Structure 1
Amino acid sequence: MSDDHTHVQEFFAARAAHWDSRFPDDGPAYEAAAGALGLRQGDRVLDAGCGTGRALTPLRAVVGPSGTVVGVDLTPAMLEAAVRAGRDRDGLLLLADVAALPLRSASLDAVFAAGLVAHLHHPADGLRELARVVRPGGTLALFHPIGRAALAARQGRSITPDDLRAEPNLAPLLARTGWRMTSYADEESRFLALAVREE
């Protein structure tokens, strides 16, 4: 495992037990973002970097009992917290790296990724791998339950022009990795960029 992976695991392992209690009011934002993927009953969706699995329940609600929901995370403690919360009932949990997914090419209809991009040490590789597992015309949602400015303020920092999630940076990054951005919202109460897997 690389030092980058170890750092990410240590960061989230230290926070896993109390992660959900830090953000108790995010549920409706997750539900709205899951709904924005345009999924139908029976579809197959991945929650990439699923953490404690907060998106699994709203994703399951959208794809229904006949659909497939998979949550992937690099940190065992986060997946253990998801199981303790009972969210493994809504999706299959896998310990894996988003940049090397144990999934077949073009096997999914969509990917949901909450807060993921900021934690990818090689964002292009991660986004390219997400594109590999999604069928042409499938969708990607890059989500955060608060906007970039509010998140930066919470973390005691300022937004810089090189922020990967800034629209002028994100759109070309997506385009280089097999995606076409279709909408972009960076508001006080949410960040949501939607993209379509290119044919």
Structure 2
Amino acid sequence: MSDDHTRVQEFFGARAADWDGRFPDDGPAYAAAVAELGLREGDRVLDAGCGTGRALPPLRAAVGASGTVVGADLTPAMLEAAVSAGRDRDGRLLLADVAELPLRDEALDAVFAAGLIAHLPRPADNLRELARVVRTGGTLALFHPIGRAALADRQGRQLTPDDLRAEVNLRPLLTGSGWSMTSYADEEARFLALAVRET
């Protein structure tokens, strides 16, 4: 396991048990972001870096009983918290690295990723891997329940020009990774970038 993986597992593993309690009001923001993916009954969707699985219930509601919902995360304690919360009923949980997904090419219609991009060790390669598992015309949502400035303030840091989530950086990153950005919102109460899988 790489040092990057170890750091991510240590960070989230230490916080898994009380993660949902720290952010109890995020549910509506997750549901609203999932709604913007445009999922249909029967679609196949991945929650990449699913954590405690907060997106799984709205994803299941969007694709219905005939759809497929998969949550993948690198941190066992996060997946255990998802099971404890009963969210494994809404999707299949995988202990997996989003940099090497155990999914076939074009297996999915969409990927939802909350808070993921800041934790990707090789963002271009990792976004390319997400593109690999999505069909042409499928969608990607990069989401956070608060905007960049509010998140930086919460973490006691300044926004910097090299922030990957800044539109000027994210758009070419996505384009170089097989995606085309279709919308970008960086507001106080949410961050949401949507993209479509190119050919």
What TM-score bracket applies, with the shorter chain setting the length?
over 0.9
1:195 equivalenced with 2:185 (yes/no): no
Equivalent position of 1:163 in the other structure: 163
Distance of 2:154 and 2:148 partners within structure 1: 10
Equivalent position of 2:10 in the other structure: 10
Equivalent position of 1:95 in the other structure: 95
Distance of 2:29 and 2:145 partners within structure 1: 6
Aligned-pair CA distance for 1:58? 0.4
Aligned-pair CA distance for 1:125? 1.2
Aligned-pair CA distance for 1:83? 0.1
Structure 2: gaps (5+ residues): none
Q: Aligned residue pairs: how many?
A: 199
Distance of 1:78 and 1:126 partners within structure 2: 20
Structure 1: gaps (5+ residues): none
Deviations 1:3-34 (A, max 9, x none): 11001000000000000000000000000000
TM-score between both structures, scaled by the size of structure 1 = 1.00
1:185 equivalenced with 2:179 (yes/no): no
Deviations 1:60-102 (A, max 9, x none): 0000000000000000000000000000000000000000000
Equivalent position of 2:108 in the other structure: 108
Distance of 1:148 and 1:49 partners within structure 2: 19
SS at match of 1:15: helix
Distance of 2:135 and 2:31 partners within structure 1: 23
1:40 equivalenced with 2:37 (yes/no): no
1:174 equivalenced with 2:167 (yes/no): no
Aligned-pair CA distance for 1:163? 0.3
Distance of 1:90 and 1:33 partners within structure 2: 17
Which one-letter code corresponds to 2:108 in the other structure? L
* Aligned positions of 1:15-94 closer than 5 A: 15-94=15-94
TM-score between both structures, scaled by the size of structure 2 = 1.00
Aligned-pair CA distance for 1:44? 0.2
Deviations 1:118-169 (A, max 9, x none): 0011111110000000000000000000000000000000100110000000
Distance of 1:196 and 1:51 partners within structure 2: 24
Equivalent position of 1:117 in the other structure: 117
Instruction: Give the 4+ runs in structure 1 shifted more than 2 A.
Output: none
Question: How high is the sequence identity, in percent, across the aligned residues?
Answer: 82
